[in-house]
Structure 1
């Protein structure tokens, strides 16, 4: 056989590309990808505590399959939602801890240089499974490189007691914010008040605060990262929040992510904004069948901006650079994102964990129950944190510091006047954006 110069260049290019693959990566002509775990490898993953038991059960079952297939033991630990963020920051800065972590929102942007590049793996999965949704992808990537894998979006929706809403005189749940306020007043009068999280709930507190701001046309910063929180739109959002707060069950300013679930399931209030977990619990408990039959879900009402705008909670799985077993960690993630495992996890989570890869939107779980519908497109429709500015250290730090959550909480409780709350938020935002 004879080789032309063109053949030689092609061969050299292929060898060069192959040499750039992570050590132990095997890929057959752009098709299947796998990583060879290091000798004696074992892994530790830290994830958030589940609100849906089926989510954890399916994840652990898939992990067991991985160990059986590779011999790599994986220890899965869990922490409360609020503890994940500080523990991840400590691990990144100290350089020791879990090999992998499921983190929140744009947390990877706080310590990108501490995370393993998983671009090759992300590209492989994206090409194989219909591509990544843009919102989750942006949370886990920086400067064109993936510093984590977008793992799930936990949707947020109104969860309410249908019979109590009807008793208050509403045959359908309102779709506009003005009508929603009137419903909340009626629910309070009927003895079945509503409640939304004004405390440091990673999911519920942030989701509610961002919905209040965005639905009224406010934003934290502009496209250039210049703070724009001090605006008439923000003031309108606060005034609306104050009116809503008057109809709330007492104590919501101290709520974390678990509190509204507990109050709703205990019958202490009629309407919350939450993931599907508030429905999942009674649905899977025969003793609460009557309650489950009375629960309905729907999107949060549309505000003056005239369209539905939600933050939604994205979790990404990152691998820290300090891990002794980078190939084993990459292979674990590859295995967990393949169809046999990912479809099982999405189904097991009962609409709690929305897919981040487009191919999985055909999972039959989304059409199995009408109450799952508001959560089905969470990854496709979310608005990213830090809107309208870019994701980065500043946006991640402002959220980690609960700046928007505190602004609304201080104003509605009377700890500060609306303008004082806005001014304080502006100073805190500028501290991170360094304007």
Structure 2
């Protein structure tokens, strides 16, 4: 953890020279100016502790009060005026800050840029990506003769079937939860050749690829999965894994980090620290490839803000290499940068071997709406969990054809 930075270092590091007076004072904002920042409750609690520290630091440097509010991610949608594509008219254009960040930090990952850029303008500033990999119990896989994680979905089903018979099912949520459910459902559809729309943005989910994906999920669910996952949110699989109830689950790095930080209490069935038995792997491949969906985060400024300059000055500092670097180190690989510079951070040289796969995980991510571009309509499909529910219907007994046709009808209501 580095010591607090000086005002001059802040202004140099952030590039906020336009607000610097000849005397080197912080930008002068109206007395009583406040900046309210709404974020999710991080799965790494130490990250939020770090942000609270940074709020005080930024308040002094900016001469205005910066307040963070943390809220459960599944409750965020009702509390915000916008996702960039869904409510672009409610957001301030931050293209100038984005241009600075991209130049300063090696350019954005395509996923981060695509999600925040609407009509050629950045309507939010890319902040980070939470990659999802499959956490699995290496010793349980070894016990059935599987020394490397399955490379294909069919192999995963076969292995999962054996493990479920031994009392170690695969854990996967198909509930209405913003992270792990879409991160499983969208790639499963893509990897079997299904797509939400074609390149022109016309709905195309009613296809052989989508049917085959649901067909796989229906069998995999029965043969290999903990069938209670229909009601899980993004925390249930963490608890199930740490409690020794499941053999594997798609997740961010939070399971590993929690097991490491709590290794004196979180043990396996032999009484050994569970963290020693955790490995990570990318999603397996289907007939159409091996793609992933990772959760991208960004910060948007509401158009109704009374002080857009304060908001932009804060973002320039908050996303700068110094402040961001401290938060990045606390995250310990759970969150990776929205820009490629952070792949070269020294953290990756010292991090535990099972965590190193998160470093470049975002390099194979597609976006909602694929094969068309992200859009307000694709975001609405995501928010209404249409793709997730398509698979949930199959798991609950609908035929693959019925589940896909239901999804196609729902998409038609949204896309027209």
Match of 1:132 in 2: 108
Alignment of 1:23-422 (within 5 A): 26=18, 37-89=29-81, 107-246=83-222, 247-287=224-264, 288=266, 290-305=273-288, 307-367=289-349, 368-414=351-397, 416-422=398-404
Any conservation in 2 of the 1:355–1:379 contact (CA below 8 Å)? no
**What is the DSSP-based 3-state SS (H/G/I as helix, E as strand, rest coil) of the residue aligned with 1:251?**
helix
The structure with more radius of gyration: 1
How many correspondences in the alignment? 388
The C-alpha deviation readout for 1:213-240, integer Å capped at 9, x for no partner, is 0111110110011111111111110111
CA distance in 1 between partners of 2:187 and 2:357 (Å): 15
Residues 37 and 136 (structure 1), Cα distance of their counterparts in 2 relative to 1, 3 Å cut: farther
Q: Deviations over 1:346-402 (max 9, x none)?
A: 111111111012222211223322222222123433111110111111111111110
Aligned pair in 2 of structure 1 residues 135, 84: CA closer, same or farther (>3 Å)? Answer: same
TM-superposed CA distance for 1:72, in Å, is: 1.9
Q: How far did residue 35 of structure 1 move?
A: 6.7
Q: Distance in 2 between matches of 1:378 and 1:61?
A: 29
Asked whether the 8 Å contact 2:171–2:249 carries over to 1, the reply is yes
Cα deviation, residue 38, structure 1: 4.3
Q: Which residue does 2:7 correspond to in 1?
A: none
SS of corresponding position for 2:257: helix
Contact 2:62-2:314 within 8 A present in 1 as well: no
Question: Matched residues in 2 for 1:296 and 1:137: separation?
Answer: 30
> Secondary structure of the residue that 2:84 maps to in structure 1?
helix
Cα separation, 2, equivalents of 1:123 and 1:411: 44
Aligned pair in 2 of structure 1 residues 36, 427: CA closer, same or farther (>3 Å)? farther
| 1:98 aligned partner | none
Quote how far apart the aligned CAs of 1:282 are.
Answer: 1.1
1:154–1:378 Cα contact (<8 Å) kept? no
Q: What are the residue-to-residue correspondences of 1:13-24 with 2, within 5 Å?
A: none
Q: TM-score, normalised by structure 2?
A: 0.89
Runs of 4+ in 1 over 3 A off after TM superposition: 34-39
Q: Is the contact between residue 168 and residue 190 of structure 1 (CA under 8 Å) also seen in structure 2? A: no
Q: Deviations over 1:231-254 (max 9, x none)?
A: 111111011101110121131111
- Normalising by structure 1, report the TM-score: 0.86
CA displacement at 1:267 relative to structure 2? 1.0
- In structure 2, C-alpha distance between the alignment counterparts of 1:196 and 1:425, rounded to whole Å: 20
Q: Give the secondary-structure state (helix, strand or coil) at the position aligned to 1:127.
A: helix
- Aligned equivalents of 1:37, 1:326: Cα separation in 2: 11
- Tell me, in whole angstroms, the C-alpha distance in 2 between the residues paired with 1:37 and 1:187: 61
Which blocks of at least 5 consecutive residues in structure 1 are unaligned? Answer: 1-23, 29-33, 93-106
C-alpha distance 394-84 of structure 1, shift in aligned 2 (>3 A): same
Q: Secondary structure at the match of 1:153?
A: strand
Cα distance, 1:291 vs structure 2: 0.4
